[in-house]
Structure 1
Amino acid sequence: MDVITRHLPEFGAGLLQTVELSLLALAGALVAGVVVAALRAAPVAVLRGAGMAYVEILQNIPLLVWLVLAVFGLPEIGVTAGLFTTAVVVIALYQGAYVAEAVRSGINAVPVGQGEAARALGLTFTQSLRLVILPQALRTVVQPLGNLAIMTIMNTALAAAVGLVELTAAANRVNLAEADPIWIFVTAGLCYMALSALTGLVSGVLERRLVILR
């Protein structure tokens, strides 16, 4: 246990990096997911096709591959950014594909009459989606979005493979110095568990407050 107390600054810095990466990636994923879900619900076939292509391409290639391509491949064509920024963008875009599907299921759960009433009032597709459909859809899928938030936290560990020193990388560095993997990685696992439990608690509270009783 002494190994943990001796290296608390390293664990603290790694945990903070994981939290920052998770929060920014979640925010980006929510924005990307809502936009793509709107495309998939659009009345224009080209837009629906673009949304479907985004989801299929992002979901069917592992996140680690995307991270490696972005970190090591983009500089080869002159596209450069900081490691942290690159990891945030890649994870956000990747998770956005899953968020899009969750939001689309929420859109499908909204009664058809809601959209018809919006059109009868003279609202455009964009207006009805923004003012009528999406607010209800998002309240319907709070728990699935909470599960995706937990998935995002877990996926941030893959950023260690491209050199970002988040919680997993910090634990690995401590282990290389101390050679005590049991305590070190159990501690890291407990940190991930605490973040996931907190996220689940928050999503549960939000779901109870925002649920739409039909």
Structure 2
Amino acid sequence: MIDFTILTTYQDEYLKGFMTTIEASLLGLVGSFIIGVIIAVFRISSVRPLRWFGTAYVEFLRNIPLLITVFVFYHGLPVLHINLSGFASGTLGLAVYTSAFIAEAIRAGINAVPKGQMEAGRSSGLTYIQTMRYVILPQAIKVVIPPLGNQFINLVKNSSILGVVAGLDLMYFGDTINSETFDVFSTYIFVGLFYLVLTIPLSLFVGYLERRLARAY
């Protein structure tokens, strides 16, 4: 049976972890999107070093566990005398890791835009960067909104990695509460419910966007 007294007794801890999870997810979302757009442009660049860097970045990060990426920031950077908090390390690792998947989604969107769009932009006097910013990327992002939405949902769930590096998120406080109550089932059921409060509305919103874009096209 679920012990609801755990929720009422430790409501402050749950709420603090919930707010930290929201903050980490929002920062990770913004950071991964910005990095992902840059890497996607590198991936389709005509400049070989940029294209090679973008390819190496995506292939490396997509094929290693998220935990290793976070540990690089949390345990690796102190070797260079750069000390980050658990929250900062976890959020940076989350953003960098997710950016590789977002980059691939955006690259696919860019490739879906007719090549004549780039030629039209350049012939009108825009530079490559301006054409990419004002002509290509707006069209590409519209195409890949559904897969981007799915990546953002995964990002929210993956934010639980902060609990491993004392990031003060939901999982961290869930572990703390469990160490005091020894009620694994009830403690983590409530943690899961808090994650559902975040992911279900986001999932419904992504579904709405998919249906709206399907009608538009």
Coarse TM-score class (shorter-chain normalised)? over 0.9
Give every structure 1 segment of 4 or more consecutive aligned residues whose post-TM-superposition deviation is greater than 3 Å: 204-214
The structural deviation recorded for 1:120 is 2.4
Counterpart-to-counterpart distance in 1, 2:195 and 2:9? 20
Are 2:73 and 2:84, in contact at CA under 8 Å, matched by a contact in 1?
A: no
State which of 78, 103, 107 in structure 2 corresponds to 1:104. 107
The structural deviation recorded for 1:209 is 5.5
2:166 counterpart of 1:163: yes
Counterpart-to-counterpart distance in 1, 2:72 and 2:121? 44
Are 2:102 and 2:148, in contact at CA under 8 Å, matched by a contact in 1?
A: yes
CA deviations 1:63-122 (Å, max 9, x no partner) are: 101212221121122122232222221211111111100100110111222122222223
Counterpart-to-counterpart distance in 2, 1:113 and 1:48? 21
State which of 146, 170, 194 in structure 1 corresponds to 2:197. 194
The structural deviation recorded for 1:201 is 2.4
Counterpart position of 1:69: 72
User: Secondary structure at the residue paired with 1:85?
Assistant: helix
Higher relative contact order (CA 8 A, sep 6+): 1
Counterpart-to-counterpart distance in 2, 1:164 and 1:128? 40
CA deviations 1:26-77 (Å, max 9, x no partner) are: 1000000000001112111111111111111111121101212221121122
Q: Alignment length, in residue pairs?
A: 214
Counterpart position of 1:54: 57
User: Secondary structure at the residue paired with 1:158?
Assistant: helix
State which of 183, 188, 194 in structure 1 corresponds to 2:186. 183
For 1:181, give the aligned amino acid: V
2:183 counterpart of 1:147: no
Structure 1 vs Structure 2 CA RMSD: 1.7
Counterpart-to-counterpart distance in 1, 2:176 and 2:49? 48
State which of 118, 124, 128 in structure 1 corresponds to 2:127. 124
The structural deviation recorded for 1:147 is 0.4
Are 1:115 and 1:132, in contact at CA under 8 Å, matched by a contact in 2?
A: yes
User: Secondary structure at the residue paired with 1:61?
Assistant: coil
Counterpart-to-counterpart distance in 1, 2:89 and 2:184? 29
Describe the shift of the 1:82–1:212 C-alpha distance in structure 2 as closer, same or farther (beyond 3 A): farther
The structural deviation recorded for 1:160 is 0.9
User: Secondary structure at the residue paired with 1:76?
Assistant: helix
Describe the shift of the 1:45–1:213 C-alpha distance in structure 2 as closer, same or farther (beyond 3 A): farther
User: Secondary structure at the residue paired with 1:26?
Assistant: helix
CA deviations 1:155-212 (Å, max 9, x no partner) are: 1111111121210111111111111111211111121122111112233344556669
TM-score by length of 1: 0.93
Are 2:85 and 2:167, in contact at CA under 8 Å, matched by a contact in 1?
A: no
TM-score by length of 2: 0.92
Are 1:139 and 1:207, in contact at CA under 8 Å, matched by a contact in 2?
A: no
Are 2:40 and 2:103, in contact at CA under 8 Å, matched by a contact in 1?
A: yes
Are 2:17 and 2:168, in contact at CA under 8 Å, matched by a contact in 1?
A: yes
Are 1:140 and 1:211, in contact at CA under 8 Å, matched by a contact in 2?
A: no
Describe the shift of the 1:167–1:119 C-alpha distance in structure 2 as closer, same or farther (beyond 3 A): same
